[in-house]
Amino acid sequence: MKNTHFNQLSAAIGIDLGGTKTEVLLLAPDGSVLYRQRKPTPRDDGYDAVLRGIVDLVGDAVARLGHTTPYTVGMGIPGSLDPVSELVRNANSTCLIGRPLKADLEHLLGHPVQLRNDADCFTLAECLAGAGQGFGLVFGVIMGTGCGGGLWIDGLVREGPNRIAGEWGHYSVDPLGAECYCGNRGCVETLISGSGVEAAFFRDNGLRLGMDEIVARARDGEPACRKTFERFLDDFGRCLGGLISILDPDVVVLGGGLSNIHELYGVGIERVRQYAFHDRLKTPILENSLGDSAGVFGAAWIGRTAKPIVTPK
């Protein structure tokens, strides 16, 4: 996939750091894909293991470049950098919280790194080259291990003065709900993310199942999984319906692994219409067109805001 908005005489490396997988992408100067690889994100080995995984993936990408080819590096993370301290905050990969991730990576790589929220990266990619093209106000939804959002307004992804624009995943919709890692209760993320649904199923049934298995068993009619899945679809409608009532966007684009659940585009949309403050809601709710890892392209394009550096010999 090419994008002429960012073509220049440098290659671009993008990294999408997720809760379950980390992906690297290498784009040639003309925007064509030279290399793409996914690896599991270390979940229990801590911050240093995550750093090593990122450095190894970037190294694999750099090794495919000629020694005279300049390149940039951009990364999407499930959180944001504090604008004053430059430490990571609000990350559902909690080992990142309070860490100088940008500075540490730049030290280890010997190269500038541009960091943005992963939902911002996803929204940028879909608005430049995907389902969000041609719309003025787009809300991009990430539903995966965690839940987040990005806001595109008239050609730009907005971060906001606090770098939290679009962070609907931590809007508390149920003060009596499950405790969230952010310290609040009943956040959107506790209701409609993969980790949130899995935790709810365990609380109700004392059994640990992954989101894929919960969905598969629900489709087969298993009562406990069906109950959890129906609640997930209803919570999706309530959360997104409320958001649409506030923003009234031109379109909503769904991304992340859970965006592949086809019931979201049937029953899920019906529930959104039920909860939104309009009796004839016509807001398009679209599946992404670049795949559930579109954010890695956005990360590569965001990285091109940095000055390219020639690969050291």
279 falls in which pLDDT band (50, 70, 90)? confident
Cα distance between residue 241 and residue 126, in whole Å: 21
Nearest by Cα to 211 from 147, 266, 257, 142: 257
Please write the tens of the pLDDT for every residue from 227-268.
999 999 999 999 999 999 999 999 999 999 999 999 999 999
Check if the beta carbon of residue 207 is closer than 8 Å to that of residue 223.
Answer: no
* CATH dotted code for 4-120+293-310: 3.30.420.40
**Cα 84 vs. chain centroid, distance in angstroms?**
23
Q: How far apart are CA 220 and CA 216, in angstroms?
A: 6
Q: How confident is the model at residue 33 (pLDDT cuts 50, 70, 90)?
A: very high
Whole-model pTM: value is: 0.88
DSSP element (H, E) containing 241: helix 223-247
Q: What are the CA-CA distances from residue 265 to residues 14, 217, 273 (Å)?
A: 29, 19, 12
140 - beta bridge partners? 150, 253
How far is Cα 185 from Cα 257, in angstroms, rounded to an integer? 24
Radius of gyration of the chain (CA): 19
Q: Can you give the pLDDT at residue 306? A: 60
**33 in Cβ contact with 291 (< 8 Å):** no
pLDDT digits (tens, 9 = 90+) for 154-205: 999 998 888 889 989 999 999 999 999 889 999 999 999 999 999 999 999 9
Location of structure tokens 């649409």: 244
What are the domain boundaries of the chain? 4-120+293-310, 134-287
What gap in Å lies between CA 291 and CA 295, rounded to an integer?
Answer: 9
Q: What is the pLDDT of residues 70-97, one digit of tens each?
A: 999 999 998 889 888 999 998 878 899 9
SS3 (DSSP) at 245:
helix
CATH topology identical between 4-120+293-310 and 134-287: yes
Contacts of 170 (CB under 8 A, 6+ apart): 90, 180, 182, 184, 187, 188, 189
Considering only the top CATH level, what class is 134-287? alpha beta
Single out the residue of 55, 30, 31, 29 nearest to residue 42, CA to CA.
55
Q: Which two tokens stand for residue 58?
A: 């970037």
Write the DSSP symbol of residue 187: B
